Every structure is written in structure tokens, then in C-alpha cells.
């Protein structure tokens, strides 16, 4: 087990290196470099040229006079100090300051969504599988098919529509009320946060639910066909025991290995829904940065998202290896 | 698939058995017949296929089916709500040939919103095959006949409402379909070409090439799809003409999709190249090109088609999401995602809920493709129950 974890960590380290490389390529992709873009914007907004020392200073800090490969190493060299470059869009603020809290909220939202969608999808999956080909089964299966076909941003827009016209709520986006937006964490802020949370969670959960539901249903149906279930019934066990103690336990296991596939969708969903609902996650600064070619910020967000994914997959792999002794890890 | 191509048939269970009273006659079905039968039996897949054919035909002949062109604006009817085509006079209850009441805008002096009321005195007949704005059918044939439209050019008919500049939303949706739906097709064609070639090469030759390709694929896939799409799409230079941007978006979408297909193809090649008939072909001196062409590709074709069909909706959704966020195709080009961009603000949903119509079209197209892919997957395995 330990060797397995070490090997997994080593391969994750290699992937991490490749992620930083690709993120850096993304930063370099738009024509012109970050500093000259910034200088152009500054000069356009103030109407007067910047002092050459400032420009020179910035160029030196991020190594823009040097070959691309040196620039890359200068960029990753700043990581341990928490220096990811600067942002044009957010008036020169260091990227790390803009993203710190938003990263936390992104992860929180993702994890909460995962638990909610599983918490609902698994019981529904069991419900549908044990009533195969019934009206409820057809209803839920059709609904889930529509669910996996509906893109997250459409769910968000449709939800807003329902919220306004059917539920007549006053939710208008965000995770905090105006007065708590930049406040430090206090009890009142937590309460405010909790009040805003259900809508985004419901929208995000819905998308993930459909896929999990379908897999849970299919798994359970496969297992209910097997002989040990027949044997358990023949022994005279109650149906409830057969389903929950014998079948469901095994049917849930493949779902853990699916977390790895679910995570990227979850992150993509979180980003786009955050943009629609203006949630304080990594989504809004990402789209803002992309629209303005504020590439240090955009590249760093992309990198953080990939790293969240990397860590998520790592955890999922380890949990799977630990939960299923049949998995070989040499 | 190879085990199926021997040309043997299946005995359908229609033998008349006197004692059991079962239906008459055996049926000898070829694999192809069996596959077609299997597909026809999947109602949703068949229905989706028909729906997609209709949608594609309508967008292909957009000029004819759309009452207006995509850029035709009417400043008097900005954000006009959908107009109803009526067959019955609401007061007298008499039936008439299809007609509509024109809308008149009035500024509400309290909210400063433009509010529309039907002008009941005027009845404008809806005409079929009406002469209207000139357009080029299929991009070449100049014509000016539209399937339906208002008989009075001064009174415009917006069956799904209009947008901020008074452009007919229904017409824009039809023109937008050209972009949204073709992105799926072109994106997937690139995906198939790149994915299957690289997948075949790395599966067949293995070695260093395979190793490098696999690491590249892993790295691309270690990024969440949508953010990577967004980052790449944003790198398309803003000064490019819209057609180039469109091509750029297609390439960006295919850039991630090929990795999945390539992996599947590699897996298939790995298992196929150890089959006896491939060894036999090698032993009898067939060239690699011939083996790939005659033995590998035919055996993978069905699999690739299914994967490709299921990749189309993913690509359509990708384009929609990018355009919805404003980093996809650019005006004056229209796509469903771009149109839905009007509904990104909650105020717009409240005031102009019809801006959500393009979303319904995205949904229908994507669901239809998913059902179709599902049906095809069952079809290529005609012996399963």
C-alpha cells in the first residue's frame, strides 16, 4: 500500500510539472507579452507614458528579456514564495491575493456538490433498480437522460428562470450578500453564506446526479442478477437485507473509481455556473482575465484547476485502493 | 465485428410450432438486416435520427425557412415578445386563415420599459411562400421566397420575439444552427482524423512514439475540459475575421476531443493486431498499410462511428458554452450559444424570457444526438438482447 501511494505521488509530481508547463504555454499563447500588454493598457488609461524604470523593473522581475525557457523557470521559481505573477485586470494586484479565498470556495463548492449529488443519486438509483421497468423507473431514467444532456450553464439559466417565475425567490446570484462580500469570516457571514448556498448547490448537484444515478442503477441491476443474491433470498433473508447489505455495498464501489471521471466535469460546471451566478470562485476572474488577455491570472487559474483535479484524482485512487482489497497495487 | 462478417445469418424465432402455436416460418437475416432491424426497434433513436435530419435540413436551407435574415433589424420592435399566429378571432370566435395582430410599443413612463400591446384593429394575414428579403440558398442560388412570413413587409412577424436590435429571434436561431450544428460535425471530423491516425500508429508501432503520445494525452487530460477550452479559445487573436475565429474554435474543440478517441482506437488496435487473421496477413506478406486498411479499419469503423456520434453533442455543447461566455464565435456570426448570451443576465430573463428559446434548441439537438449514439451503440452489437 505504501509503495502504491509513493508511486502514485511520484507520477503526480511529474504531472504537476507538465501542468505548470502547459499553463505557461497558455500564458504565452496570445500575441504580445504580458508586460507590454500591461504597459499599453496603463498608458491608454492614464494618457501618459510610464517611466521606463518601471517597465524595465517588471521586465526584469519576470524575465521578459530572456529566452522563454528562462521566463518559465522564473515563473515557477516564484511559486514557493506565493508569487504567481501580477494581474492587469485587478489593478496590478498579485495573482495570489486575488485567488487565495476563491480557490478555497471553489474546492468547498466542488466537494459539497459531490456529496449532495451522491447523497441523492444513490438512493434514487437503488429505488429505480429495485423497481426495474416500473413507471417510476422509466420516469427517473428519462429524467436522468435529459439531465446528462443538459449543459450546466443551461441548467443555471433555466433555474434562474424557474426561480424568478415559479418560485418567485429573490436570489439574484452570488454567495454572499452585499455587506458580507469582503468581510472577514464572522458568524453572521457564515449564516449569510449558508443562506446563499442551496441554489448553486442544487444547480451543480443536478448535473452530476444524472450520471451517478445511471451508473448506480446499472450496477445494482447487474449485481441483483448474480447468484449470491439468489442464494441470499433462498436462505430466507428479508428483501431489505438482501438489497442493502448484500447488493448495494458492492454496487457502490465502482462509483468511487468514477470520481476521477466526475471531477473534471464538476470543476468545469463550477466554473461556468460561477460565471452565470457570479459566485466568488475562480470562475469570474478567469473569464475576466481571458477576455482582457490578463494572462498571468488566467494561466494561474487554469493551473490551480488542474492541480485541484490532480489532487482529487490522487485521493480517489488511494481511497479506491483502500476500500477495495481486490485491486492490485504492486 | 470480424466474427460477424462471415456472412452467416441468424434464425429468427418465427418457426410455426403447431403444439406451441407460435408464428410461422424461419427467417434468415444477414447481419446488416439484423442491425437495421435493431435500430428501427429503438424508437427514441429512430425519432432522434428523424429529428436531426429535419433540423439539419432546416438550417441548411436557412434562407428559405427563416422569415428574415439574421441581420435584418427593426428598431421599432426591440425586444418584442413572441407574436401569436392565430386562426380564430379572439372576440367573435370566427375562423380565419392564419393571421396575427401587429404589436405596438409604448414606453411605460414609470419603468421606462417599452411595453407592447396587440393592435386588434389590424389583421395581418400570414402568407406561405411569401416574397421577402433576398438570400442565397446554399450560398449560391439567389432567391427571395420564404416558407412563411407576414404578408405586409411593414408589419413584421416575430414568432419567437426579437432581440435588442429588433432582429427576429426565430430567424437568428435558424441561422445560428448553421454554426452550432456544423461545429459539431467539423470538430468531430477532425477528431476522427487525428484521433484514429494517432491511435492506430501508437497502438500498432508502440515503442517511443506510443510512449510520448500517451504522456501528451495524459497531460492534456489532466486539465478540466471547459477551462482549457476557454483558455485556448481566448488565445484566438481578436482581429481575426469571424470565419477564421470559427475555424479556430473548431480546432480548439477538437484539440481535446481527439485524445479520448485516440485512446480507444489504440486499445482496439492493441487487441486486434494479435488476432490470427492479422498474423496470417503478416505471414503472407501483406504490407502494413494493407493490414491497417483491410483488417484494422473495417473492424474499428463501427466503434469509431459510435464514439464520434457521442462526441458531436460534446462539441456542440463546448461551442455553446464558449460562445455563451463571449469567447466563442463572434458577431456578426450567430450561434445558439451566442444568442443565449442575451439571457446571461437575470434582469433579461425576467424582462425578456423568450431569449431562452435558443437554449431549447441546444437541448433538443444534444438529447437527439445522445439518443442516436445510444441506438447506434446497440446496433453495432446486433446479437445482444
Residue B8's domain comprises 1-33
Count of residues making up chain B: 385
Q: What percent of chain B has pLDDT over 90?
A: 7
B138-142 average pLDDT score:
75
* pLDDT higher at B384 or B214: B214
Q: Using DSSP bridges, classify how beta strands B28-29 and B103-107 pair: parallel, antiparallel or unpaired.
A: unpaired
Q: What percent of chain A has pLDDT over 70?
A: 87
Query: For residues A254 and A216, what is the distance between their CA atoms, to the nearest angstrom?
Result: 9
CA distance B233 to chain A (A): 9
Instruction: Give the pLDDT confidence score for residue A32 in this predicted structure.
Output: 65
Beta carbons of A15 and B219 less than 8 Å apart: yes
Could you tell me the fold of the domain covering A104-281? MetI-like fold (1.10.3720)
Query: For residues A205 and A216, what is the distance between their CA atoms, to the nearest angstrom?
Result: 16
* pLDDT higher at A115 or A45: A115
Cβ neighbors of A247 (< 8 A, separation 6 or more) are: A220, A223, A224, A229
Q: Using DSSP bridges, classify how beta strands B124-137 and B95-100 pair: parallel, antiparallel or unpaired.
A: antiparallel
**Grid cell for residue B132:** 421577402
B84-105 average pLDDT score:
78
Query: For residues A82 and A76, what is the distance between their CA atoms, to the nearest angstrom?
Result: 10
CA distance B177 to chain A (A): 17
* pLDDT higher at B84 or B22: B84
pLDDT of B21 above 70:
no
pLDDT tens for residues B202-250?
A: 888 888 888 888 888 888 888 888 888 988 888 888 788 888 889 999 9
Same domain, B6 and B96: no
A225-246 average pLDDT score:
84
Same domain, B218 and B333: yes
CA distance A238 to chain B (A): 31
* B76 within a domain of the structure (yes/no): no
Instruction: Give the pLDDT confidence score for residue B9 in this predicted structure.
Output: 40
Same domain, B114 and B88: yes
Same domain, B211 and B141: no
Beta carbons of A272 and B325 less than 8 Å apart: yes
Contacts of B340 in chain A (CB under 8 A): 153-154, 157
* pLDDT higher at B208 or A88: B208
Beta carbons of B232 and A267 less than 8 Å apart: no
Which among B325, B343, B353 has the least Cβ separation from residue A287?
Answer: B325
B155-174 average pLDDT score:
82
ipTM value, please give it.
0.82
Instruction: Give the pLDDT confidence score for residue B186 in this predicted structure.
Output: 93
Local confidence band at B187 (pLDDT 50, 70, 90 cut-offs)? very high
Same domain, B149 and B237: no
Mean pLDDT of chain A: 79
Instruction: Give the pLDDT confidence score for residue B6 in this predicted structure.
Output: 38
pLDDT tens for residues A169-202?
A: 666 666 777 666 666 677 777 777 777 777 778 8
Best of A281, A290, A300 to disrupt the B interface by mutation (most B CBs within 10 Å)? A290
B158-171 average pLDDT score:
82
Same domain, B198 and B302: yes
Which residue, chain included where needed, has cell 504555454? Answer: A25
Mean pLDDT of chain B: 81
Query: For residues B240 and A193, what is the distance between their CA atoms, to the nearest angstrom?
Result: 43
A205-225 average pLDDT score:
83
Query: For residues A155 and B87, what is the distance between their CA atoms, to the nearest angstrom?
Result: 35
Judged by a CB distance cut-off of 8 A, whether residue A99 touches chain B is: no
* B59 within a domain of the structure (yes/no): no
Q: What does the domain layout of chain A look like in residue ranges?
A: 14-81, 104-281
Instruction: Give the pLDDT confidence score for residue A189 in this predicted structure.
Output: 75
* pLDDT higher at B44 or A81: B44
Instruction: Give the pLDDT confidence score for residue B250 in this predicted structure.
Output: 92
Instruction: Give the pLDDT confidence score for residue A181 in this predicted structure.
Output: 67
Most confident of A245-259, B93-107, B309-323: B309-323
Judged by a CB distance cut-off of 8 A, whether residue A25 touches chain B is: no
* B63 within a domain of the structure (yes/no): no
pLDDT tens for residues B43-71?
A: 888 899 999 999 999 888 888 888 887 77
Q: Give B68's DSSP letter.
A: S
Local confidence band at B8 (pLDDT 50, 70, 90 cut-offs)? very low
Same domain, B217 and B353: yes
* pLDDT higher at B31 or A178: B31
* pLDDT higher at B104 or B170: B170
Contacts of A150 in chain B (CB under 8 A): 363, 366
* B71 within a domain of the structure (yes/no): no
Beta carbons of B356 and A299 less than 8 Å apart: no
Beta carbons of A19 and B219 less than 8 Å apart: yes
B15-38 average pLDDT score:
65
Count of residues making up chain A: 330
Instruction: Give the pLDDT confidence score for residue B14 in this predicted structure.
Output: 44
Of the candidates B177, B164, B178, B173, the residue with the CA atom closest to the CA atom of residue B67: B173
pLDDT of A219 above 60:
yes
Best of A11, A155, A157, A199 to disrupt the B interface by mutation (most B CBs within 10 Å)? A157
Local confidence band at B18 (pLDDT 50, 70, 90 cut-offs)? very low
Instruction: Tally the domains of chain B.
Output: 3
- Of B157, B182, B200, which residue constitutes the final position of a domain? B157
pLDDT of A98 above 90:
no
* B45 within a domain of the structure (yes/no): no
Judged by a CB distance cut-off of 8 A, whether residue A145 touches chain B is: yes
Which among A15, A291, A302 has the least Cβ separation from residue B228?
Answer: A302
Domain of residue B272, CATH code: 1.10.3720.10
* B167 within a domain of the structure (yes/no): no
Which among B228, B353, B366 has the least Cβ separation from residue A149?
Answer: B366
Instruction: Give the pLDDT confidence score for residue A91 in this predicted structure.
Output: 66
pLDDT of A253 above 80:
no
A40-66 average pLDDT score:
72
CA distances from A80 to A11, A60, A75, A84 (A): 20, 19, 10, 9
- Of B123, B157, B191, which residue constitutes the final position of a domain? B157
pTM of the model: 0.82
CA distance A155 to chain B (A): 10
Local confidence band at B13 (pLDDT 50, 70, 90 cut-offs)? very low
Same domain, B190 and B300: yes
* B52 within a domain of the structure (yes/no): no
CB B341 within 8 A of CB B355: no
Which among B218, B222, B327 has the least Cβ separation from residue A291?
Answer: B327
* B201 within a domain of the structure (yes/no): yes
Local confidence band at B11 (pLDDT 50, 70, 90 cut-offs)? very low
Q: What is the dihedral of CA A155, A159, A161, A165, to 10 degrees?
A: 150
Instruction: Give the pLDDT confidence score for residue B54 in this predicted structure.
Output: 92
Local confidence band at B7 (pLDDT 50, 70, 90 cut-offs)? very low
For the four alpha carbons of A160, A165, A166 and A167, in that order, the dihedral sign comes to: positive
Of the candidates B367, B365, B353, B372, the residue with the CA atom closest to the CA atom of residue B177: B365
Best of B43, B218, B224 to disrupt the A interface by mutation (most A CBs within 10 Å)? B224
Which residue, chain included where needed, has cell 436561431? Answer: B173
Amino acid at each position: 500500500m505504501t509503495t502504491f501511494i509513493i508511486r502514485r505521488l511520484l507520477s503526480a509530481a511529474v504531472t504537476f510539472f507538465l501542468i505548470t508547463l502547459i499553463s505557461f504555454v497558455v500564458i504565452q499563447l496570445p500575441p504580445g507579452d504580458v508586460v507590454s500588454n500591461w504597459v499599453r493598457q496603463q498608458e491608454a488609461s492614464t494618457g501618459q507614458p510610464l517611466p521606463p524604470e518601471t517597465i524595465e523593473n517588471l521586465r526584469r522581475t519576470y524575465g521578459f528579456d530572456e529566452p522563454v525557457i528562462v521566463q518559465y523557470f522564473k515563473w515557477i521559481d516564484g511559486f514557493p514564495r506565493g508569487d504567481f505573477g501580477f494581474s492587469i485586470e485587478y489593478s496590478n494586484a498579485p495573482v495570489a491575493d486575488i485567488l487565495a479565498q476563491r480557490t478555497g470556495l471553489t474546492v468547498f463548492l466542488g466537494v459539497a456538490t459531490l456529496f449532495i449529488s451522491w447523497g441523492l443519486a444513490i438512493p434514487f438509483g437503488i429505488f429505480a433498480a429495485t423497481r426495474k421497468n416500473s413507471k417510476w423507473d422509466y420516469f427517473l431514467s428519462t429524467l436522468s437522460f435529459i439531465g446528462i444532456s443538459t449543459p450546466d450553464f443551461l441548467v443555471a439559466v433555466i433555474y434562474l428562470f424557474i426561480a424568478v417565475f415559479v418560485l418567485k425567490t429573490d436570489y439574484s446570484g452570488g454567495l454572499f450578500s452585499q455587506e458580507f462580500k469582503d468581510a472577514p469570516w464572522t458568524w453572521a457571514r457564515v449564516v449569510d453564506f449558508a443562506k446563499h448556498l442551496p441554489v448553486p448547490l442544487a444547480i451543480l448537484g443536478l448535473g452530476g446526479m444524472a450520471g451517478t444515478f445511471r451508473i448506480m442503477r446499472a450496477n445494482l441491476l447487474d449485481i441483483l442478477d448474480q447468484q449470491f443474491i439468489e442464494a441470499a433470498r433462498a436462505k430466507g433473508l428479508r428483501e431489505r437485507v438482501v438489497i442493502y447489505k448484500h447488493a448495494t455495498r458492492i454496487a457502490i464501489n465502482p462509483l468511487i473509481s468514477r470520481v476521477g471521471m466526475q471531477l473534471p466535469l464538476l470543476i468545469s460546471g463550477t466554473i461556468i455556473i460561477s460565471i452565470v451566478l457570479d459566485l466568488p470562485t475562480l470562475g469570474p476572474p478567469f473569464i475576466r482575465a481571458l477576455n482582457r488577455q490578463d494572462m498571468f491570472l488566467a494561466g494561474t487559474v487554469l493551473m490551480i484547476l488542474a492541480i485541484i483535479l490532480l489532487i482529487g484524482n490522487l485521493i480517489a485512487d488511494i481511497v479506491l485502493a483502500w476500500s477495495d482489497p481486490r485491486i492490485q497495487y504492486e | 465485428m470480424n466474427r460477424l462478417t462471415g456472412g452467416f445469418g441468424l434464425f429468427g424465432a418465427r418457426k410455426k410450432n403447431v403444439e406451441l402455436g407460435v408464428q410461422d416460418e424461419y427467417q434468415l437475416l444477414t447481419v446488416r438486416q439484423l442491425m437495421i432491424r435493431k435500430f428501427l426497434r429503438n424508437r427514441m433513436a429512430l425519432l432522434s435520427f428523424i429529428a436531426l435530419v429535419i433540423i439539419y435540413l432546416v438550417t441548411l436551407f436557412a434562407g428559405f425557412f427563416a422569415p428574415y435574415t439574421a441581420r435584418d433589424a427593426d428598431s421599432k420592435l426591440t425586444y418584442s415578445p413572441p407574436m401569436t399566429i392565430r386562426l380564430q378571432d379572439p372576440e367573435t370566435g370566427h375562423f380565419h386563415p392564419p393571421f396575427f395582430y401587429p404589436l405596438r410599443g409604448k414606453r411605460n413612463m414609470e419603468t421606462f420599459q417599452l411595453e407592447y400591446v396587440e393592435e386588434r384593429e389590424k389583421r395581418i394575414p400570414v402568407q406561405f411562400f411569401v416574397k421577402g428579403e433576398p438570400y442565397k440558398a446554399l450560398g449560391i442560388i439567389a432567391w427571395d421566397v420564404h416558407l412563411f412570413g407576414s404578408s405586409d413587409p411593414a408589419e413584421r412577424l416575430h414568432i419567437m420575439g426579437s432581440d435588442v436590435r429588433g432582429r427576429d429571434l426565430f430567424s437568428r436561431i435558424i441561422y445560428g444552427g448553421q454554426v452550432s450544428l456544423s461545429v459539431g460535425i467539423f470538430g468531430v471530423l477532425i477528431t476522427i482524423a487525428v484521433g484514429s491516425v494517432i491511435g492506430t500508429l501508437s497502438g500498432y508501432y508502440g515503442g517511443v512514439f506510443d510512449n510520448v503520445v500517451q504522456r501528451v494525452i495524459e497531460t492534456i487530460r489532466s486539465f478540466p475540459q471547459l477551462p482549457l477550452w476557454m483558455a485556448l479559445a481566448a488565445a484566438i487573436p481578436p482581429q481575426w475575421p469571424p470565419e477564421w475565429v470559427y475555424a479556430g474554435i473548431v480546432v480548439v474543440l477538437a484539440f481535446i476531443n481527439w485524445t479520448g478517441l485516440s485512446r480507444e482506437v489504440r486499445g482496439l488496435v492493441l487487441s486486434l493486431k494479435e488476432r490470427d487473421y492479422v498474423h496470417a496477413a503478416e505471414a503472407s506478406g501483406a504490407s502494413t498499410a494493407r493490414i491497417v486498411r483491410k483488417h484494422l479499419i473495417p473492424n474499428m469503423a463501427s466503434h469509431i462511428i459510435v464514439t464520434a456520434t457521442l462526441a458531436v453533442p460534446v462539441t456542440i455543447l463546448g461551442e455553446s458554452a464558449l460562445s455563451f461566455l463571449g469567447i466563442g464565435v463572434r458577431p456578426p456570426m450567430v450561434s445558439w450559444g451566442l444568442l443565449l448570451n442575451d439571457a446571461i443576465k437575470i434582469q433579461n430573463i425576467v424582462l425578456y424570457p423568450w431569449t431562452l428559446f435558443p437554449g431549447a434548441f441546444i437541448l433538443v439537438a444534444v438529447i437527439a444526438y445522445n439518443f442516436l449514439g445510444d441506438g447506434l451503440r446497440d446496433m453495432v452489437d446486433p446479437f445482444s438482447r
